[in-house]
Amino acid sequence: MNFREFLKQNIVILDGGMGTLLQERGLQPGESPERWNISHPDVITAIHQSYYDSGSNVVNTNTFGANCLHFDEIELEEIIREAVDNAKKAAALSTATHEKYVALDIGPTGRLLKPMGDLDFEEAVSVFAKTVQLGVKYGVDLIMIETMNDSYETKAALLAAKENSDLPVLVSNAYSENEKLMTGASPAAMVAMLEGMGADAIGVNCSFGPDKLAPIVREYLRFASVPVMLKPNAGLPHSENGRTLYDVFPDVFSDITAGLVADGVRVAGGCCGTTPDYIKALCDKIAVSVPSVTPKHDTIISSYTTAVRFGNDPVLIGERINPTGKKRLKEALRNNELDYILGEGLKQQSAGAKVLDVNVGLPEIDEPAMLTKVVYELQAVSDLPLQIDTSDPVAMEKALRIYNGKALINSVNGKQESMEAIFPLMKKYGGVAVALTLDESGIPDTVEGRVAIAKKIIDTAAAYGIDKKDLIFDTLAMAVSADKNAAKLTLGSLHKIRHELGVHTSLGVSNISFGLPQRDIVNAAFFALALENGLSAAIMNPFFAEMMKTYYSFRVLKGLDDNCSDYIAFAESVQNNVTVSKTGAADKADDTLSLSNAVIKGLKDQAARLCVELLKNTEPLTVVRDHIIPALDTVGREYEQGRVYLPGLLMSAEAAKYAFEEIKARMSSDSGKDKCAFVIATVKGDIHDIGKNIVKLLLENYGFAVSDLGKDVDPELIVEETVRLHAPLVGLSALMTTTVPAMEETIKQLRISSPWAKVVVGGAVMTKEYADSIGADKYAKDAMDTVRYAEAVNDTLQ
């Protein structure tokens, strides 16, 4: 029987610990256990055999760290070949009569993925792919991805397994004491992502004994529609007379684990500290009856940490990252101002959005590249799930691939072409799709017509193996100003689809008021009606106070807000009139404050407000020249004289930035940047960028056209951008001695391709001498020093 069939009908018993047994047999601290496949095949085979003999259906090959980051190609192949051989030999030698399988064991790489670490997502996929290909080549029965403590790396491993084999894949994560992965994911978020990607069984291993893992595994049982696995440690280790002992013994271990099997766990074994005795005790206690795996019907999306469930409590999807009708965002997209775009996302999060829509479609930009970049950067700073919004299937696939979680997909519709493009992507990467009730013949003008399209979409999805729980229907809000029955039709379809087809719903609420004055009034009323008719999610602007009032009132009235606490907090913010404060923190009003003083004191909201006031009767450039720059100069001088500390300088710079945003909103793009181009980056291999961002902020304030290439940047990219802009100035930052050679290499390449550019360097390890020795033009001791140097260079260009 192949493993997939076996898993359907049986409780699967896994093996127990390997590392602890190898240490008892002489593995030294820091020594590679994988090499023992070659040097001590008999030891490895004997351990595997004892697990089979004790009742294990599956043993894991001794390949936890066998990947091409740790071993060269030849040795890696040898290790995996021998490891599989050792396990197969053990299966043959074992006299046990039960089904026996060999799993290719895959553990984490030990590196953290970008952007928090330095391992690229696609590189991680290809690292795992090599191991998978070798496992397949030497004939394993299944793949076991285990002890993963980061969601992104787990995704890379599962993707590699799926793309390089048809074998069953079991995925197991290691949780911390706070019942989350080390990088923050909750069990519900992991279930959503892994199940969506088609894992055959999912679960938890390592970390603790079965008692402490019980609450986590119960979360899995609550949400998972696939078999759940559990492979706990034998408790926690301690040392007695030089021997490592664990504090949960086989009897207690097997009691608790068998109890969890009775509650629904279908795949069970042991991890660190467990031995064949534990597995034998477990087998003895597991009942004959096989618990069934019940399908769950929750509609869930996830970020790298958090699951968002669609239900009676409406979900707000922030719509602000969409260039349609937004001049400033268009400019930001064209100029690659990622921090502006990310800022828009984070502001919506503070305003109450639970999901962020991401749409970067502009005719003149490379949408697949930009969408991927924004999704990648946004998910590094926000823990909200994202709604990926594009009509380009290529952009959609790229974004879904690098998305760290289970995304909301915007959108699919009843057209054959649309479903053929989107459903295969959902099947591969997981996701919940917003399905629009329109098809080749347009938008039906009857409720029945829209419901019929919904049914067609559900049926077609089912043919792809996609459950209707992963579809959210949008019955399309159309302008009531054009058709007086538009709202009735939308709401009627919504009601039927939600309550008769039993699926969730979403609307772009504000479309309803198109063409009417005072749109907020109609929007808020329509929103309330839609919620009452079963709206599960709304795509909207969380800064629209009227909509937010409806949202919080609805939740109170429907008993969704315990102790009315969310409403009360909201009401207080309305009273203080700070609902639409874009910073999330309101400064105290002070009528005597001037813009210059607000900048000097670092009061962001005040600076923005006073700037708006001034702009009513002052030219933008005059505001910059006479108010903002003198204030910055004052603070800058005080900083240089040691009277103001760096955080003070930065608070002023941030306040100035808020003022500049108001000015930008009123000027044609790029004006105000009256100084030369400045390319800035943290060099290859270095992932620290706080210092670089400080320098960038000040340079922008002083009017330089800064092109920020980010951190860990290849020398070639820096050269390319410098040449493209013919930039007179390049700023390079390095924090570690180990990355200074990358800085030197970058300077060397710049000298060849862009000899006109002056290179200024800085960072924790830099000194004047160091800078001279690698050929920089200038060592800047701090951000102000860089500004002064840049101004001097700029002056020579005039």
Partner 1 sequence: MIRTAIFDPPAWDRAEIMRYARIRGADDSYRDLIDECIREAESVLSYRVCYATEDIQRDNELICFGNIETTSQTIKKAIGNSQQVLVFAATVGAPFDRLLQRYSLLSPSKALILQAIGAERVESLCDAFCAQANRDLTVSKKRLTRRVSPGYGDIPLDMQRDIFALLDCPRKIGLTLDESLLMSPSKSVTAICGITAEEITEQAKCAECDKTDCIYRQ
Interacting residues with partner 1 (CB under 8 A): 28-31, 107-108, 110-112, 115-119, 147, 149-150, 174, 176-178, 182-184, 206, 236-239, 244, 305, 339, 342-343, 346, 380-383, 602, 645-648, 650-651, 653-654, 685-690, 693-694, 697, 736-739
Nearest approach, Cβ of 664 to partner 1 (angstroms)? 17
Nearer to partner 1, 227 or 636 (CB): 636
* CA gap 358, 388 in Å, rounded: 5
User: Of 350, 400, 343, which is closest to residue 375 (Cα–Cα)?
Assistant: 400
- What does 296-338 look like in DSSP terms, one character per residue? P--EEEE-SS-EEEESSSPEEEEEEE--TT-HHHHHHHHTT-H
Nearest approach, Cβ of 181 to partner 1 (angstroms)? 8
The radius of gyration computed from the CA coordinates of the chain, to the nearest angstrom, equals 30
* CA gap 313, 557 in Å, rounded: 12
Angle, alpha carbons 722-687-778 (nearest 5°): 45
Nearer to partner 1, 255 or 654 (CB): 654
Nearest approach, Cβ of 578 to partner 1 (angstroms)? 16
Nearer to partner 1, 37 or 173 (CB): 173
* CA gap 302, 181 in Å, rounded: 14
Nearer to partner 1, 296 or 328 (CB): 328
Take residue 403 and report the two structure tokens written for it: 């998305």
Nearest approach, Cβ of 679 to partner 1 (angstroms)? 19
Q: Specify burial of residue 166 (Cβ count, 10 A radius: 0-12, 13-18, 19+).
A: exposed
Nearer to partner 1, 610 or 698 (CB): 698
635 with 644: CB under 8 angstroms? yes
Strands 243-246 and 237-240, by their bridges, are: antiparallel
Nearer to partner 1, 392 or 654 (CB): 654
* CA gap 433, 410 in Å, rounded: 6
Nearest approach, Cβ of 146 to partner 1 (angstroms)? 11
Nearest approach, Cβ of 328 to partner 1 (angstroms)? 17
Nearer to partner 1, 539 or 783 (CB): 783
Nearer to partner 1, 173 or 359 (CB): 173
Can you tell me whether residue 592 is helix, strand or coil?
A: coil
Nearest approach, Cβ of 341 to partner 1 (angstroms)? 10
Helix ranges, 406-503 (H): 416-429, 447-463, 486-499
CA 631 to chain centre: 39
**Long-range Cβ contact pairs of 740-745 (< 8 A, separation 24 or more):** 740/765, 740/766, 740/770, 740/774, 742/683, 742/684, 742/685, 742/686, 742/715, 743/683, 743/774, 743/776, 744/774, 744/775, 745/684, 745/715
Amino acid identity of 676? C
* CA gap 157, 163 in Å, rounded: 10
Handedness of CA 646, 650, 656, 657 (dihedral sign): positive
Nearest approach, Cβ of 491 to partner 1 (angstroms)? 39
Nearest approach, Cβ of 627 to partner 1 (angstroms)? 21
Nearest approach, Cβ of 228 to partner 1 (angstroms)? 22
Nearer to partner 1, 531 or 656 (CB): 656
Nearer to partner 1, 56 or 151 (CB): 151
Nearest approach, Cβ of 693 to partner 1 (angstroms)? 5
User: Of 673, 737, 735, which is closest to residue 706 (Cα–Cα)?
Assistant: 673
Nearer to partner 1, 73 or 247 (CB): 247
Nearer to partner 1, 243 or 484 (CB): 243
Angle, alpha carbons 775-778-782 (nearest 5°): 130
* CA gap 508, 320 in Å, rounded: 12
Nearest approach, Cβ of 89 to partner 1 (angstroms)? 28
Residue identified by tokens 């009034």 is 521
Nearest approach, Cβ of 680 to partner 1 (angstroms)? 13
CA 236 to chain centre: 32
Nearer to partner 1, 505 or 693 (CB): 693
What contacts 444, CB < 8 A, 6 or more positions away? 437, 438, 450, 452, 453
What contacts 387, CB < 8 A, 6 or more positions away? 317, 355, 356, 357, 358, 407, 408, 409, 410, 434, 539
Nearer to partner 1, 520 or 782 (CB): 782
Nearest approach, Cβ of 691 to partner 1 (angstroms)? 9
